[in-house]
Structure 1
Amino acid sequence: MWITPKLDWKSSDFYNFQDLNRVENNTEVIAELIRYFILLPSMLTITNRDMKRIEFADSLNRLESNQNILRQRYTPMGWLQNKLDWVSNNPFTFNDAQRLEHNLNLLYQHYKGNTELVPICGAFTCGEEAV
């Protein structure tokens, strides 16, 4: 289920494990929407972080790479370029938090609107129990 992203990050805001869980959850939601249209490569997402988990550069690179995978079919206008070269001791700022949530929100708005236009068809049988 889509979790409303925080789109108003300020330099005074604190980023925590719940924010990363939200970003990864929303990545999964968008991947499911995109799968209505194309087959995506598998992506690893982690949504069960807690206060005991520490993120490293490789995790941030994976998260940003997932967003690059999601935009392969369509890159929305206003997309903010992903940072794919995280290394140890690179500072994570409110601008990075804003980019991650902004890009996912752009994709969600596009695909949510388009999947609602996809006709769903099927069949069901109704009648008496005995055939």
Structure 2
Amino acid sequence: MWIAPKLDWSSSDFYNFEDLNRVENNTEVIADFVRYFIAGPPLNTVYNRDMKHIDFADSLNRIESNQHLLRQRLTPAGWLPNKLDWKANDAFSYIDAHRLEHNLNLLYLHYRGNVDAVPICGAYIVGEGLI
């Protein structure tokens, strides 16, 4: 289930485990939308972080790579380039937090609109009379 992203990050905000869980959850939601239309790429997501879990550069690279894979079919206007080269001790700022959520929101708006527009085909049976 889609969790509303935080799109108003500022320098006074703090990033925590719940924010990364939301990003990973929403990544999986987008992947499900992509799979609705094509065989989507396999993703590795983690959304059970807690206060004891610390993410490192390899986790951030995985998260950014997942988003990069999801945009291969479509890169929405306004997409912010992914940072795919996180290294130990790289600073993570509110700008990075904004990029992660902004890009997912762009994909969500696109795919949600397309999934809603797909007609549902099926057989309609009208009446139950015998011939």
- Taking the aligned partners of 2:123 and 2:26, their CA distance within structure 1 comes to 32
The CA distance in 2 between the partners of 1:77 and 1:86, in whole Å, is: 24
Check whether the contact 2:21–2:48 (CA below 8 A) recurs between aligned residues.
yes
Q: TM-score, normalised by structure 2?
A: 0.93
2:17 aligned residue: 17
1:31 counterpart residue number: 31
Q: How does 1:1-131 map to 2 (within 5 A)?
A: 1-123=1-123
- Is the CA contact (8 Å cut-off) linking 2:41 and 2:70 kept in structure 1? no
What stretches of structure 2 of length at least 5 have no aligned partner?
Answer: none
Separation in 2, partners of 1:125, 1:87: 60
Aligned equivalents of 2:3, 2:78: Cα separation in 1 = 21
Q: Which structure 1 residue ranges, 5 or more long, are not aligned? A: none
* Matched residue type, 1:63: I
| Structure 2 counterpart SS, 1:36 | helix
- Residues 65-116 of structure 1, C-alpha deviations (whole Å, 9 max, x = no match): 0000110100000000000000000000000000000000000000000110
- How much has 1:123 moved relative to structure 2? 4.5
CA distance in 2, matches of 1:127, 1:52: 61
1:38 Cα offset (Å): 1.2
Distance in 1 separating the partners of 2:14 and 2:53 = 16
For 1:125 and 1:55, locate their aligned partners in 2 and report how far apart those are by CA, in whole Å. 55
Q: Following superposition, which runs of at least 4 residues in structure 1 exceed 6 angstroms of deviation?
A: 124-128
C-alpha separation between the residues in 1 aligned to 2:61 and 2:21?
15
Deviation at 1:124, TM superposition (A): 7.8
TM-score normalised by L of structure 1: 0.93
